[in-house]
Amino acid sequence: MKVVILALLALLVVSQSEGLKCYCGGDRQCSAPTEICRGSANVCGNLIIYVGSRPTHSRGCMSSMDCSILNKPGISSCRSCGFDLCNK
């Protein structure tokens, strides 16, 4: 029983050490088409800002709190998701 518990804990640690993978792009400067989230950037996000003559779009890693703050109807729209490459 102890071996099973230790194996499950080891699996959990390994799976938690891999960061969330998100698409990165739009008006956001990215070195690659995808990125690995680190730190407080805990979700993949899609952000559209409707200010100006043309809406701007960006996607990539962000914090869920920032996405909630940036979701302002008529001004900006932010959608977030929490699994790999979910922000296409």
Task: Give the model confidence (pLDDT) of 14-56 as tens digits.
Answer: 445 579 999 999 999 999 999 999 999 999 999 999 998 999 9
Give CA–CA dist 24/32, Å, rounded: 7
Nearest to 87 by CA among 69, 54, 64: 64
Whether the Cβ atoms of residue 48 and residue 55 lie closer than 8 Å to each other: yes
Nearest to 41 by CA among 64, 18, 57, 58: 64
Q: Average of pLDDT values for 84-88?
A: 96
| Domains in the chain: boundaries | 20-81
Mean pLDDT for the chain overall: 86
- Name the fold adopted by 20-81: CD59 (2.10.60)
CA geometry: angle at 68 spanning 66 and 51, to 5°? 85
Q: Is the pLDDT of residue 1 over 50?
A: no
